Structure 1
Amino acid sequence: MDGCQFFRAWIRDPLRVASITPSGKALADLIVREIGPETGRVIELGPGTGVFTRALLRRGVAEENILLVEKGAEFAALLQQRFPKAKIACIDATDIARFCPESAGAAISGLPLLSMRSPTVHAILGGTFARLGEGAALYQFTYGLRCPVPRAVLDNLGLSAARVGGTLRNVPPAFVYRISRKP
């Protein structure tokens, strides 16, 4: 079911979806491994069918503490059915600073940053970090071998990136980066 829906969305807009299949459980567990109930509110950018959302719930994050930012109306409707206690924002991630009034303890991203222009990535990260509390981080995955955020964007926003792991048990294999404010 999810695979078919994901594939149809990819056919309609391959740059927005960027993969023909949802992320696997191994990647989901990796991207949320530093997040738990003590984190508080979590922002999820580009949740798609909710693979990472389910991983957050397995880690003990309360559903009502999850904000799902999904631009695709077809995915937003599915997420509303699957996670009725979560807050769903059917908006472009570049609008996160205007939409989300509360501070969050972490953010995770399934957005295809490698297929986006630097100004768009800058707007997404700038808006997200405007909503993240002190010491909070954004966890971003990529199919590439390097961090998907351009060095100039990281430097301009005062951020640093560190690889926290990778998994070969995803199609395709993926890596996760923790992006945080420089001290």
Structure 2
Amino acid sequence: MTALTMDAYHFFRAWMRDPLRVASVTPSGKALADLIVREIGPETGRVIELGPGTGVFTRALLRRGVAEENIVLVEMGAEFAALLQQRFPKAQIACTDAARIARFCAAPAGAAISGLPLLSMRPEKVFAILAGTFARLGEGAALYQFTYGLRCPVPRAVLDRLGLSAVRVGGTLRNVPPAFVYRISRKG
């Protein structure tokens, strides 16, 4: 069985167990992975990845030149966390809910990327995830979030309360389903 087939198998099993947590029956494709990391490189320093699943975006970070030891993977699913530990042994892996990121990631990061299904979460949970993430991001750093929806997956009230703005940086039809990426950053 190829790695791609195994990833699809792991993803489908996780989706069957908890469709709202996983939110897709298949992992993201290479086109989306390349889009979400295109503004990130070795000069970024530490990168936090929320909900890495099987590591599609993690591999894209490595292709962009980010050192594996500069990647922090925050994955709630135990089976995905174990798979990530095998695939990326130099990365820091926190098997926890992303809303608790402030407890597990001490050093400031230059960027964060997210594969979390924010559209299926309550606004309070989205607020906790973003507040914790931005508490760990350095000045000028951004969170890159993808969505299958046609607008930003972070409610306007959450953005405003945290002093954040969101800008769509691109989209791809070469993903199943098609997806868009937003850069979320501090205002000003």
| TM-score of the superposed pair, with normalisation by structure 2 | 0.97
Q: In the alignment, which residue of structure 2 is the partner of 1:156? A: 161
> For 1:104-161, what per-residue CA distance to the aligned partner results, in whole angstroms no more than 9, with x for missing partners?
0000000000000000000000000000000000000000000000000000000000
Counterpart amino acid of residue 140 in structure 1? Q
Q: Distance in 2 between matches of 1:3 and 1:153?
A: 33
One-letter amino acid of the counterpart of residue 22, structure 2: V
1:17: which partner in 2?
22
One-letter amino acid of the counterpart of residue 173, structure 1: P
Are residues 1:82 and 2:79 paired?
no
Aligned ranges 1:104-143 → 2 under 5 Å? 104-143=109-148
Q: Superposed, which structure 2 residues align to 1:1-183 within 5 Å?
A: 1-183=6-188
| Secondary structure, counterpart of 2:110 in structure 1 | strand
Structure 1 distance, partners of 2:19, 2:116, is: 12
2:3 maps to what in 1? none
Q: Which runs of 4+ in 1 moved over 2 A?
A: none
CA distance in 2, matches of 1:85, 1:94: 23
- Once the two structures are TM-superposed, the CA of residue 100 in structure 1 deviates from its matched residue by 0.9
User: Distance between the aligned counterparts of 2:139 and 2:91, measured in 1?
Assistant: 23
- Name the SS of the counterpart of 1:164 in structure 2: strand
Distance 1:65 1:5 in 2: 25
CA–CA distance in 2 between the matches of 1:5 and 1:162?
32
**Which amino acid in the other structure matches residue 7 of structure 2?**
D
After TM superposition, the score normalised by the length of structure 1 is 1.00
Please state how far the C-alpha of 1:98 moved relative to its aligned partner.
1.4
**RMSD across aligned C-alpha pairs, in angstroms?**
0.3
Residue 163 of structure 1 and its aligned partner are, at CA, apart by: 0.1
- CA deviations on 1:52-85 (whole Å, 9 max, x unpaired) are 0000000000000000000000000000000000
